[in-house]
Amino acid sequence: MEPMEAGSPRWEASSSFLPKANRLSYRSCSGWYRSIKCNARLPFESLLERDLMVIQDVDPNVANFALKPETLVWTGGQREQSYTPDFRVVTQEGKVVYREAMPRRKFDADPSLKGRRSRITDACVARGASFELWTETEIRKQPRLANCRRIRAAVAFLTPANLTIVRTGLVDGRPISLATLQAIIGSDPLLVGALLGLVAVGELTLDLDAVIGPDTQLSPRGS
């Protein structure tokens, strides 16, 4: 079952309808992903692409992202060429990155993207941006992906009742371990889920590259 999406206010779980995102073009749609940061249902062509959406939704360094944002066009060899990257990502620092999700076997077979990779990079630079190719090596790195999936699903626990309880342990605005919070609010899995839900919507942060456990430090955003 797909977790419920954050509604209005965005940190409360609700079953409100989310609009579908319009995509410029795609070969096939394998399914739909409910994005927190895009506040829309996004189509994905592969599970690899969906996993990258999950990471971008949870990554605190990503301010926002857009799917199939634009087509890059240039002239090469007397004819027009084009390329549509999977995502445009804007970081918290305001940097723009065009990002592509690609199976490792496909990248290994053609790392130059049919000779277009350097031109794609140049087109991105001309827009004041950079270009990144993400394969399974980056996207499915553990425990980062497992953490992001767990955190994204935890949005379903952001109910008013749960939030009232978990906020009693977050009163001083300082980092606190999960074990310490559980000693204050209890070890109910629903409350742990609500804490992770606050990570999903950007109110709290944690180390995505470490296994989530009692020693995990939860920090208020900006602390």
For 198-211, write each residue's pLDDT tens digit: 999 999 999 999 99
Cβ partners under 8 Å of residue 223, min gap 6? 173, 174, 175
CB-CB contact of 144 with 54 (8 Å): no
Q: How far is CA 11 from the centre of its chain?
A: 16
Bridge partner residues of 134 (DSSP): 101
Indicate the SS3 state at residue 77.
coil
CB-CB contact of 199 with 57 (8 Å): no
The token pair at 183 is 């000693």
Model confidence at 27, pLDDT cuts 50, 70, 90, reads low
Q: Which CATH architecture has domain 16-139?
A: 3-Layer(aba) Sandwich (3.40)
For 147-169, write each residue's pLDDT tens digit: 999 999 999 999 999 999 999 99
Q: Tell me how crowded residue 154 is: count the other CB atoms within 10 A of its CB.
A: 23
| Exposure string for 205-217, b = 16+ CB within 10 A, e = fewer | bbebeeebeeebe
pLDDT at 62 over 80: yes
pLDDT at 8 over 80: no
d(CA 202, CA 60): 7
Q: How far is CA 122 from the centre of its chain?
A: 26
Considering only residues 9 and 21, tell me which one the structure prediction assigns the higher pLDDT: 21
d(CA 212, CA 194): 14
| pLDDT for the residue 123 | 92
pLDDT at 172 over 50: yes
| pLDDT for the residue 168 | 92
Considering only residues 144 and 4, tell me which one the structure prediction assigns the higher pLDDT: 144
For 96-142, write each residue's pLDDT tens digit: 999 999 999 999 999 999 989 999 999 999 999 999 999 999 999 99
